[in-house]
Amino acid sequence: MVVLYQVIKSIQRTQWQWALDNQKSALEHSNESIHLLNEVLKEKTTLTKDEVQSIKSLSTSIIDIHGRLKSNKPLSYQSKIQWLSSNLNGVLYPPVDQLPPLNECISRRIQLGETEDTTELTLSEAQTKLLSHWEAVSQQNWDVSSSTQSQALSTLYQDFLQDCSFVSAMISLIHHHCNPSSQSSFNILNSIAPHTVSDFYSVVIHFNGEPRMVEVSSKLPHLKDPTQALFIRSKSDPELLWPALVEKAYLKVQGHGYDSKGSNSGMDTFMISGWIPQYVTEEDRVDNQWFQSLKKDFENDKIVLNLGTGSQLEKDTRFHASHDYSVVDFKDDELILRNPWGGESQYHTVKIHDIFASFKTLYLNWNPQGLTMETLHFIWSHKDSRNLQFHQYPQFKIENSTGINQDVIVLLERHIGFTNSNINVLVCESTSGEILFSRGKLLNPNFVKANNTRFHYSKFNMKAQTCATVIVLNDAPELQNFTLRTYTAAKSTNITKSKHIYQHIKKIHDQWDIETSGGNWTLQSYLKNPQFEIYVLPSTTGSELTNVQIHLSSKENTMVNFQLFFKDSNQLTAKTMMGSLITNKYQTGSNFSVTTLTCGQSYILIPSTYDRDTHSDFSLSFISDSPLQIVKSYTRLGLYTSKISMTWPNNTTRMKYKFKVPFQTKLNIHLWSQTDNMMTVSSYTPQIRASLFYMETAEPILINTEFDDDLFGIWLNDVVITKCQYTVVILIERFEIGGGLILGDIGSDYRIKEL
């Protein structure tokens, strides 16, 4: 006999194969799902109302999936991560919102010969020695609102199993629910099905970005000593065991079986209920006003609280190290705590101002009831976060399209199954939620603190009709899956992946090498740096100006900067260096600037390191609202370059450099003075000039009458040598007598012969 359970499992396998991009296998499973659903309809002569609703939902789902598979359409990116994150330790945990409830026939699983994941949870070696047998849960009282059930739940405790964080979370949640004045709709019993005797139970556990279905058998491990238990139980009703089934599902997801490795009650409260976790420590410097606000939220069912001690306790001997405690009441200036351990005094009080003298962390879990949640899954794919530039971190746009200011909670979740790493979230002011190249004004300054748990909580107030950019920081050296959630009171707050603010994007990759590492703009060698000519194409909108973002990035420890100049017919000089359109300071690893350029105008951009002879790769990014043409300027003087190095003779203002060329050619000559090893704008530079003539005939080739003391020297461009049978003389003159060197480069199409 075919039951809906089989149909559901077949659809799950279809989704899983689809997420793996295995279209053929996914299509086979979808055909199987359709066949099984038809068999259900044939065999069922009468259908309950719930069954009819389930069949309608399943039919709609599988027809849509089958049609998209036949059209060879891929699964959406978000759905793909959603399903890929379902596989944990070889077990598939599907999102519960993808499928109808499993109350129908889940108890008949054992009759269907299902063998998938029927093994029991592992025990430690010590636990195995104490084990007597595994025993199925018998009839339970499923009415959580009954007085006997409430009494039994109020005495839940932790016994032999080391999972104080889970038990503390359960106590806090159940205390919240059993509070007669509670207005919350939360009921932990709704997370488990069916509410009857069954061989298997389905429990909803919140992890890896979704509430997910976790199936466990009804068997629990019983110890040889009947006074001890390896699962959560009630002092007043030892037969109350459905909480132990929830615990079993939680332990299954954690991956260590009953050999629990520890957690914290903030994370565990989220896993059980989906309530939003927040961690507060002494470093957060909360005051009495904050605690009074917290008390009000606690009394209004907006929050549950737990406290966790650190690995060492210095003063208060009432509490145990590395242990969690439930907050069950909030009276005036003190908290009433309950120790989840059952073997000792369970209730304690602690003054508000003494909390962090005894405890390391206050765990808050906020009730999401009444809030609108937006979810976005993404993959961290950077293998070396140490060299990441700011814009390379995952960034997301939050938009408040309402007409009111509102509080926004941002929750980052790292999925289970990946190594621990330090995570952090920045929320920065931005124009349109665009990708940011540097940290802007922080909107969440009180929450910018990295932690190595799986969650990071932030909260900020967002103005009406504005956007912000969320930046996720992480030091993981490997691939990780994440989910980013926002919670707001309004329905018009959206979260999407950030884009660049302008549509036109150009990227250039180059390097500073032995010939092109000229150092900063104050050095004589500056013009050796790579140069790029930028031409701003005319705007299609008729605008005369275009907005441009320019970003330069290199090695983390390299001081870098860039300057931008108008391009004209004149050679760049030390004087024109003072007219850079961008005047940033040198910064480590990267530099960023926003500027406005004129359409139809050409510019020269020069990226540089602070120190010369710094060899490094670099990247330039240009983001603009009009297209740019960018070409690297050819700064070599010619195909062949000959070096000049001469010392000024004593008591003379003239010297000559002689050479011959084999063929008619064009020369480009650069000459400069050097009076010390590190020439800068503050160095003395003698005024020089240079002329060319043929030695044998004294015929002038180029005559210069003006002296120039520019730091970068003088250029003689496009000098044509037509009479290659003669010796060419460069006459170099200075305005006054002095010492030092004359250095230079001669570029030509052929090798010249120095005489």
Closest alpha carbon to 207 in 413, 15, 473: 413
Angle among Cα 431, 437, 438 to the nearest 5 degrees reads 90
Q: Rg for the chain (alpha carbons), in Å?
A: 37
Closest CA to 346 of 333, 337, 334, 354: 337
In this structure, is the dihedral angle defined by the CA atoms of residues 284, 290, 292 and 298, taken in order, positive or negative? negative
Q: CB burial class (10 A; 0-12, 13-18, 19+) of residue 690?
A: buried
Residue 681, burial from CB neighbour count under 10 angstroms (0-12, 13-18, 19+) = middle
Question: How does 581-594 read in b/e, with b if 16+ C-beta sit within 10 Å?
Answer: eeeeebeebbbbbe
Instruction: Spell out the alpha helix ranges (H) of 191-318.
Output: 242-254, 265-273, 288-299
Q: What are phi and psi of 106, to 5 degrees?
A: -65, -30
Neighbouring-strand partners of residue 202: 193, 215
Q: Environment class of residue 386 by beta-carbon count within 10 Å: exposed (0-12), middle (13-18) or buried (19+)? A: exposed
Helix axes 23-43, 49-70, angle to 10 degrees: 150
Nearest CA among 55, 68, 50, 48 for reference residue 6: 55
Task: Please identify which residue in the block is written with the tokens 């309402």.
Answer: 402
> Rounded to whole angstroms, what are the CA distances from 570 to 58, 563, 717, 743?
74, 17, 11, 21
Strand 210-217's sheet: what is its strand order? 192-193, 200-207, 210-217
CA distance 589 to 96: 45
472 CB contacts (<8 Å, ≥6 apart)? 378, 380, 393, 394, 395, 396, 412, 423, 424, 425, 482, 484
- Is 175 known to be catalytic? no
> Which amino acid does the sequence have at 601?
Q
Q: At what angle do helices 164-178 and 242-254 cross, to 10 degrees?
A: 140
Identify the active-site residue in 177, 323, 456, 670. 323
What the block records as the tokens of 660 is 């011959």
- Could you give the CA distance from residue 727 to residue 114 in angstroms, rounded to a whole number? 98
Please give the order of strands across the beta sheet that includes 504-512.
504-512, 616-624, 545-553, 590-598
Instruction: Please report the DSSP string for 672-688 in residue order.
Output: EEESSSS-BTTS----E
Choose the catalytic residue: 105, 164, 428, 467: 164
In whole angstroms, give the CA distance from residue 644 to residue 714: 14
Active site residue 164: yes
Tell me the C-alpha distance between 294 and 411, whole Å: 19
Calpha distance 673→52 (Å, rounded): 93
Phi-psi region of 301 (alpha: psi -120 to 50; beta: other; left: phi over 0): left
Q: Which of 339, 424, 444, 474 is catalytic?
A: 339
Cβ neighbours for 461, distance < 8 A, ≥ 6 positions apart: 405, 406, 407, 408, 443
Known catalytic residue at 323: yes
Instruction: Report how far residue 358's alpha carbon sits from residue 307's, in angstroms, rounded to the nearest whole number.
Output: 10
Q: Where are the beta strands (DSSP E) in 539-639?
A: 545-553, 559-566, 587-588, 590-598, 602-609, 616-624, 628-632
For residue 143, count other CB atoms closer than 10 A to its CB: 12
Tokens of 592: 């960023």
Closest C-alpha among 323, 339, 462 to residue 397 = 462
Catalytic residue numbers, as ranges: 164, 323, 339
